[in-house]
Chain A
Amino acid sequence: MKPFGQVTSKTVAVPTTNVDTDQIIPARFLTTTDRDGLGDAAFRDWRFDQDGNSLDHPINAINPDTHAILVAGDNFGCGSSREHAAWALDAFGVRAVISTSFGDIFKSNALKNGLLPVEVDEATLDLLMKEPNRELTIDLEEEEIRFGNHVVAFATEPFARRCLLQGSDPLTVLLDAVPDIETFEREHGRAS
């Protein structure tokens, strides 16, 4: 799995709340059978009109080398379970998303793809919204974000955090548990 330790980059602020995964990647791009190549589809209908002409939108500032942190309104990534949303954000150049809350399934998907969802309180989000284009560091080891003289703590599910820091794959850990799964199936009359 793609590891995540820390990232230092500038922010791109999009105050829209409830950004659903249909906005992150519209359904018409879901006929792919690959994980790769979805960067162009990210926020497609925010970035281009129906004739393919570019639109003015703050999201256009995302750049993996300079602006890899997205600051978004409450409840980012709600809606559909499509993991394509995490793949598209990653390919588009987003390394981390900061918001007050996330859609459950999106959060779980992001964590499995080296894309860090960072939950902060409203006051911190307001501060970051007011001043976009600000350099900050997200440190997963310390579970804190640092900018100017601010240090803000955040929490990440411990198992996901460990996997991200080590770049280890949760599937390997799950497969180690197969003997227990087999025992469970035998004891509960669910063996094949």
Chain B
Amino acid sequence: MTGKTLFEKVWERNLVRDEAPDSPAILHVGLHLIHEVTSPQAFQVLAERGLKVRRPDLTLATIDHSVPTLPADTEGRLPYATPAAENQVATLRTNCSVHGIELLDLDDPRRGIVHMVGPELGRTHPGSVVVCGDSHTSTHGAFGALAFGIGTTEVGHVLASQALFQRKPKTLRVMFKGETAPGVTAKDMALAVIARLGMDGGTGYVLEYAGDAVRALSMEGRMTLCNLSIEAGARAGMVAPDETTFDYLRGRPGVPDDWQAAVASWSELYSDHDAAFDHEITIDAAAIAPMVTYGVSPHEAVPVTAQVPDATDANASAALDYMGLAGGADLSAIAVNRVFVGSCTNGRIEDMRQVADLLRGKRVADHVRMLVVPGSAAVKQQAEDEGLDKIFLQAGAEWREPGCSMCIAMNGDKGDPGEVVVSTSNRNFRGRQGEGVRTILASPSTAAASAVVGRLADPRSIEVTA
């Protein structure tokens, strides 16, 4: 008998009812995260049907997408982009209070981007199913959870039942061979995977990231890696839990009461040596360089030291047109207008530290506007405790309140048409950071290096002052 994959073990642990030809499986949801953008219509359905939230205790709400990252004015009013954005936040507040759901409100020191708060509070558990009306829910897979994004109708399903219809996906192992070179981050590993798989190479699969280079990553790095799984079409990405995972979770408020038993049970979550995957790819970790995107989809990524690839079809040349780039041009010649550091991809403390390392004692180039937005209030506090905010401010960057900010540009933080933005977020889609904005995805180090140089820059070329 062949062994089981990590995914299969987690799937089985949460299976209420197995799938049949004419009906999908029913999975139990261990943690349902909600936010202001994709939940109001789900609560509406509950109201229309007279339904209650079945397990408010397994539901956690936060406010992240629509909130301003600028502080309140002297009268305490936040500078919302539109009245609709403010109304959306108020609607979530009402829905949470009606249904008894814990809400991390704007003044809560635990608030943050939805994929930051689950792990920070110890609510994301290995071996459980985590869902949220947000495609980057895959982030939580870093803990060995099966975590994926759902639509609003399904948000309603989970609110009403704490379960979900689901067809069993296929498995794909991404095996990193060897160690990454200095200056290469989890973001670069992720972009290398997406470039390799293509934008839909992961569709229908759950990815498992494995190999020494993954084991060597901190939880922050693993979250970055899993976060980007969706950009290759995969709904979920997973890393088998280990001591790094348990060390991160130990002592956090939301972990199980019986810690010993929990760790014993979580320790069984790994792919057996003889487990069979539906597909497997191998990536040479040592060959990965700092990666940047040049097109309008995350898979259009190459090493920062490379040239813009020539367009091979109409779609690729439309992408280059949008970006204002020509095939064969040096990426390092691209002038940068803005730099954004933040998001659920790279808004964690480790990311802030990497940026601070590159900005310490330096100035952001005169023509560049740099925004640093912590992913959560906890990250903001930690960064300030370490004095990182001072480094950002002294370098001429802005230091903001936590939120999604320019990752989705629906709170008023955005670029102007035609601007080039180097961003640590996850999507370089047309218009994602503002109408006509040209986004280049990169790691925090590459973003910071580019801010200093004023052009797209290799972080390894910048001298770091201690």
Q: A: which residues have CB within 8 A of B?
A: 15-18, 20, 22-23, 26-28, 30-35, 45, 50, 73-75, 78-84, 86, 101, 103-105, 108-109, 112-113, 157-159, 162, 170-171, 173-175, 177-178, 180-181, 184-185, 188, 190, 192
Chain B residues lying within 8 Å of A180, measured Cβ to Cβ, are 16-17, 26
Q: Which of B99-140 contact A (CB under 8 A)?
A: 133-135
6 nearest A-B residue pairs (beta carbon): A33-B40, A109-B151, A31-B84, A83-B151, A81-B149, A83-B152
Task: Say yes or no: A22 contacts B41, CB within 8 Å.
Answer: no
CA distance A112 to B152 in the complex (A): 10
Chain B nearest Cβ from A39, distance in angstroms? 16
Chain B nearest Cβ from A119, distance in angstroms? 11
Task: Say yes or no: A31 contacts B135, CB within 8 Å.
Answer: no
Chain A residues lying within 8 Å of B408, measured Cβ to Cβ, are 27
CA distance A74 to B66 in the complex (A): 31
CA distance A26 to B414 in the complex (A): 13
Chain B nearest Cβ from A176, distance in angstroms? 10
CA distance A159 to B164 in the complex (A): 13
Question: A109-B153, A159-B165 are contacts. A18–B297 as well, Cβ < 8 Å?
Answer: yes
CA distance A78 to B318 in the complex (A): 18
22 A-B residue pairs with CB within 8 Å:
A18-B199, A18-B200, A18-B315, A22-B427, A26-B435, A28-B409, A30-B37, A31-B82, A33-B41, A34-B40, A75-B203, A79-B427, A80-B135, A82-B38, A82-B151, A83-B41, A103-B203, A104-B203, A112-B151, A171-B157, A173-B23, A181-B162
Q: Which of B210-261 contact A (CB under 8 A)?
A: 230, 233, 235
CA distance A8 to B370 in the complex (A): 52
Task: Say yes or no: A101 contacts B30, CB within 8 Å.
Answer: no
Task: Say yes or no: A175 contacts B154, CB within 8 Å.
Answer: no
Task: Say yes or no: A27 contacts B203, CB within 8 Å.
Answer: no
Interface residues on chain B, size class? 35 or more
- Report if B32 contacts A (CB, 8 A): no
Additional A-B contact list (17), CB under 8 Å, known A32-B84, A105-B135: A31-B81, A32-B40, A75-B199, A75-B203, A79-B135, A83-B152, A86-B151, A103-B233, A104-B203, A104-B204, A109-B151, A112-B153, A171-B161, A174-B26, A174-B164, A177-B26, A190-B28
Task: Say yes or no: A75 contacts B200, CB within 8 Å.
Answer: yes
Q: Tell which of B85-93, B282-290, B330-338, B356-364 binds the partner.
A: B85-93
Q: B: which residues have CB within 8 A of A?
A: 13, 16-17, 21-24, 26, 28, 30, 37-38, 40-41, 44-45, 49, 51, 54-55, 57-58, 65-66, 81-82, 84-85, 87-88, 91, 133-135, 149-154, 156-157, 160-165, 167, 199-200, 203-204, 230, 233, 235, 297, 314-315, 318, 408-410, 417, 427, 429-432, 435-436
Task: Say yes or no: A50 contacts B41, CB within 8 Å.
Answer: no
Task: Say yes or no: A17 contacts B22, CB within 8 Å.
Answer: no
Chain B nearest Cβ from A178, distance in angstroms? 6
Task: Say yes or no: B297 contacts A20, CB within 8 Å.
Answer: yes
Task: Say yes or no: A175 contacts B133, CB within 8 Å.
Answer: no
Chain A residues lying within 8 Å of B49, measured Cβ to Cβ, are 171
Chain B residues lying within 8 Å of A157, measured Cβ to Cβ, are 24, 167
What residue in chain A is nearest B166 (Cβ atoms)?
A: A108
CA distance A84 to B199 in the complex (A): 21
Interface centre among B21, B91, B153, B408 (most CB of A within 10 A): B153
Chain A residues lying within 8 Å of B149, measured Cβ to Cβ, are 81, 105
Chain B residues lying within 8 Å of A22, measured Cβ to Cβ, are 427, 429-432
Task: Say yes or no: B233 contacts A23, CB within 8 Å.
Answer: no
Task: Say yes or no: A181 contacts B28, CB within 8 Å.
Answer: yes
Task: Say yes or no: B41 contacts A35, CB within 8 Å.
Answer: yes
Chain A residues lying within 8 Å of B135, measured Cβ to Cβ, are 79-81, 105
Chain B residues lying within 8 Å of A75, measured Cβ to Cβ, are 199-200, 203, 233
Task: Say yes or no: A159 contacts B24, CB within 8 Å.
Answer: yes
Task: Say yes or no: A177 contacts B38, CB within 8 Å.
Answer: no
Task: Say yes or no: A105 contacts B235, CB within 8 Å.
Answer: yes
Task: Say yes or no: B151 contacts A50, CB within 8 Å.
Answer: no
Of A31, A34, A101, the contact of B410 (CB 8 Å cutoff): A31
Question: A27-B410, A33-B41 are contacts. A192–B427 as well, Cβ < 8 Å?
Answer: no
Chain A residues lying within 8 Å of B150, measured Cβ to Cβ, are 81, 105, 108
Of A28, A33, A45, A80, the contact of B87 (CB 8 Å cutoff): A33
Chain B residues lying within 8 Å of A159, measured Cβ to Cβ, are 22-24, 165
CA distance A16 to B435 in the complex (A): 19
Task: Say yes or no: A192 contacts B133, CB within 8 Å.
Answer: no
Task: Say yes or no: A50 contacts B417, CB within 8 Å.
Answer: yes
Chain B residues lying within 8 Å of A16, measured Cβ to Cβ, are 315, 318
What residue in chain B is nearest A157 (Cβ atoms)?
A: B167
Chain B nearest Cβ from A173, distance in angstroms? 8
What residue in chain B is nearest A109 (Cβ atoms)?
A: B151
Chain A nearest Cβ from B270, distance in angstroms? 20
What residue in chain B is nearest A86 (Cβ atoms)?
A: B151
Chain A residues lying within 8 Å of B162, measured Cβ to Cβ, are 181, 185
Chain A residues lying within 8 Å of B28, measured Cβ to Cβ, are 181, 184-185, 188, 190
CA distance A75 to B203 in the complex (A): 9
Of B26, B91, B297, the contact of A181 (CB 8 Å cutoff): B26
Chain A residues lying within 8 Å of B38, measured Cβ to Cβ, are 81-83
Chain A residues lying within 8 Å of B37, measured Cβ to Cβ, are 30-31, 82
Chain A residues lying within 8 Å of B427, measured Cβ to Cβ, are 20, 22, 79-80
Chain A nearest Cβ from B264, distance in angstroms? 14
Task: Say yes or no: A101 contacts B203, CB within 8 Å.
Answer: yes
Chain B residues lying within 8 Å of A101, measured Cβ to Cβ, are 200, 203
Interface centre among A28, A50, A74, A173 (most CB of B within 10 A): A28
CA distance A182 to B49 in the complex (A): 21
Chain A residues lying within 8 Å of B55, measured Cβ to Cβ, are 192
CA distance A113 to B203 in the complex (A): 21
What residue in chain A is nearest B235 (Cβ atoms)?
A: A104
